[in-house]
Structure 1
Amino acid sequence: MNITEVPFGTYQGRPVTKYVLTNDHGVQAGILDFAGLLQSFKVPTKDGGKADMILTSENLDEFTNNGFCTNRLIGRVAGRIAEGQFEINGKKYQVEQNEGKNTLHGGTNGFYSYIWNVDSTNETANEVSITLSLTLTEEMDTFPGQIHVTATYTLDNKNNLTLKFSATSDADTLFNPTNHTYWNMANSNVKTVDQLKLYVNSKNHLAVDDGKIPTGEKITNEGTPFDFSTPTQLGDALKEMTSTKENGFDDIWEVEPNLNEPVATLEDPESGRKMSLYSDRNALIMYTMNSDDPAVYNHGEVHPHLGIAMEAQTLSDAIHHPEFGDITLHPNEEKTYTIKWHVEY
């Protein structure tokens, strides 16, 4: 087990550092202090090399010059908030509207816009970890209260990478963070996620309006392209989505929170690489990179369905749908959430 530090360019004139966590099997996770970004997640290959399980770049500019939140930490609130408005204890709040009339991923100055502090790194016989922290004020991101957030990535010898979020605030606010990593563990000559097989422990997905805001209705997955209750080839599901406005998925699945059984799995039958996702919250938002915008990249590659984001969080716009879950954070309260990825190769 070890941790190494590597310079990784500059952001707004400040140096960015990559922290490489390596376990005894040669599995590596590269974490940037910029945006708490998961820059790489490499596993050994049968020929003695290493393969990345996620979309990546060695150029920081390719992460910062696109609007797709690639592999970054997201918050205070992941997903969308209708009209950027909400109410806590009878008090109304208006936050920045950065996607039309709605708020997306905490606004333009959310978690993903900052270099985080590195509070500590830790090495033991069976795991290595890094703890990052960020403090945001209302003047910085328009959300009420000063929030202090920590994010700890831990890589262990069982090939688990765990991300633990924790937050406190000095006033009523919202907290629903996630990680926005894009996955594609196929061989480098495979250009899309089509051959990957996806399983999701979900019976329903959310109905949404034209702005992707949940209506409150839950739609049964069975009999639709949203049904991944058995491992399903993504290409088959995506073919059924070609007639949609998005030409793919940008949708919200309701899942059973579980840190012992996978919420979802994604595997590449050809290489044998597989990722199992665990989460203690009730939603998985999946986005299949439907754009051909040049900002969507992987080492310079540009085309739709290059990767799939799998964002574990509480159901979107929960502040307007109490039955979706409680994303409020109050003074003298600490909230903690966990996401875990297990890799096989």
Structure 2
Amino acid sequence: MDINQEELSVPSEQPLVEYTLKNDHGMEVSCLNLGGIITKILAPDKNGQLENVVLNFKEKETYLENPPFFGALIGRVAGRIQSAQFELDGESYSLQANDGPNHLHGADTGFHKVVWDVETVETTDVVKLVLTHFSPHGEGGYPGNLKVKVTYSLDNDNAFSIRYEATSDKKTALTLTNHSYFNLSGNLKADIQSHELNIDSDQFVELDEALIPTGNLLDVNDTPYDFRSKQAIRVGVESSHPQNKVAGNGYDHYFVLNKKADLDIKVSEPVSGRTLTVNTEQPGFVLYTSNMLPEDLKLGDGPSKKYLGLCLETQASPASLHHAEGFPSVVLEKDEKYSKTTTFRFGVE
């Protein structure tokens, strides 16, 4: 087990450092102190070949803007907040509108823009990065002085875990996630339409034309959203289902997890044999299949295009701020401890 670090020659007000966690089997996870951005994950295929399985930029300075949020920590609230405002206990809070009239992924003061403080931890069984940040009351329009700690851990079972912890001195809204785009083909040899998913979920959230939840939870039965049995991403891309069309011919939807199966999510890539299994303490996640990824980005393994990566954004639902029933809440009470872990385990079959 090992941790390497390299200071980047990128113009920035604060020094930017890339850290690389390595286990004894060659798996690596690299990330920046900027936004906690995961820049590379090397994982083996069925022949033991180590290749990168996340989308990344060719040039590190591109992460200073990072419009697709590649690999970044997202907060204070992951997802879209309708009309860039919400109420808590009768008090209204206004946020920056950066997605039409709506607020997306924390906007300009989001955690993806923060240079985090980082500590490294090395043992014989696991290597860790501990990232910390203080977000003052009123930052980005959110209430409460917020202390945040995120721990990245890599072990010798090829499991990469992200633990999110936070406390606020005032009732606030909070749900954190990581916005990595996975592609298990390795080094972007193919898009993700042939990736197959299993999801332990009976319901997903209906979206309007602006990708804002309508307040309705839909049953997955007889829809392209039924991943309770293995199904390829291509099914949703090619579907005429109204919700796939709304999302730009693919998926950009919140799934409520049942919490009944051993695994919450499993992704398989038939050619490489790679698998990614996900277990999370979050109540659900957003599946996004890069339907709106621009085609002019210079990536580490070639040009960007639609359907090149899939995001598994484990989180609660910001729709709960505007719909009282049926949605996992993002409200954090004063002095309550926020603590959620998501584990991504890489394997082969």
For normalisation by structure 1, the TM-score amounts to 0.92
Q: Is the 8 A contact 1:66 1:295 kept in 2?
A: no
2:344 equivalent to 1:341: yes
Q: Is the 8 A contact 1:2 1:123 kept in 2?
A: yes
Partner of 2:152: 153
Partner of 1:310: 312
Partner of 1:282: 283
Partner of 1:237: 236
Q: CA deviation at 1:139?
A: 4.9
Q: Secondary structure at the match of 2:303?
A: coil
Q: Secondary structure at the match of 1:128?
A: strand
Partner of 1:216: 215
Q: Secondary structure at the match of 2:329?
A: coil
Q: CA deviation at 1:329?
A: 2.0
Q: CA separation in 2, counterparts of 1:14 and 1:6?
A: 14
C-alpha change, 1:91 and 1:111, in structure 2 (3 Å) is same
Q: CA deviation at 1:190?
A: 2.9
Q: CA separation in 1, counterparts of 2:160 and 2:291?
A: 27
2:104 equivalent to 1:101: no
Q: CA deviation at 1:11?
A: 5.4
C-alpha change, 1:196 and 1:48, in structure 2 (3 Å) is closer
Partner of 1:193: 192
1:140-159 deviation digits (Å, cap 9, x = unpaired): 42211221111000111121
More off after superposition, 159-168 vs 315-324: 315-324
Q: CA deviation at 1:174?
A: 1.0
Partner of 1:125: 124
1:13-67 deviation digits (Å, cap 9, x = unpaired): 3321111111111111112111011111112356664211211235223333441
Q: CA separation in 2, counterparts of 1:247 and 1:58?
A: 27
Partner of 1:87: 87
Partner of 1:261: 262
Q: Secondary structure at the match of 1:318?
A: helix
More off after superposition, 305-314 vs 83-92: 83-92
Aligned letter for 2:286? Answer: I
Aligned letter for 2:97? Answer: Q
Identity %: 28
Aligned letter for 1:2? Answer: D
Q: Is the 8 A contact 1:126 1:156 kept in 2?
A: yes
Aligned letter for 1:274? Answer: T
Partner of 1:330: 333
Unaligned runs of 5+ in 2: none
Q: CA deviation at 1:241?
A: 5.3
Q: Is the 8 A contact 1:193 1:307 kept in 2?
A: yes
Aligned letter for 2:323? Answer: H
Q: CA separation in 2, counterparts of 1:308 and 1:236?
A: 14
Runs of 4+ that moved beyond 6 A: none
Q: CA separation in 1, counterparts of 2:290 and 2:64?
A: 17
Q: CA separation in 2, counterparts of 1:189 and 1:171?
A: 44
Superposition pairs of residues 72-83 of structure 1, within 5 angstroms: 72-83=72-83
Unaligned runs of 5+ in 1: none
Q: CA deviation at 1:108?
A: 1.9
For normalisation by structure 2, the TM-score amounts to 0.91
Aligned letter for 2:208? Answer: D
C-alpha change, 1:310 and 1:55, in structure 2 (3 Å) is same
Q: Is the 8 A contact 1:267 1:273 kept in 2?
A: yes
C-alpha change, 1:223 and 1:45, in structure 2 (3 Å) is closer
Q: CA separation in 1, counterparts of 2:145 and 2:188?
A: 46
More off after superposition, 319-328 vs 190-199: 319-328
Partner of 2:42: 42
More off after superposition, 95-104 vs 38-47: 38-47
C-alpha change, 1:140 and 1:295, in structure 2 (3 Å) is farther
Q: CA separation in 1, counterparts of 2:227 and 2:48?
A: 33
More off after superposition, 260-269 vs 295-304: 295-304
Aligned letter for 1:73? Answer: L
1:257-294 deviation digits (Å, cap 9, x = unpaired): 47x82211111111111100111122211111113524
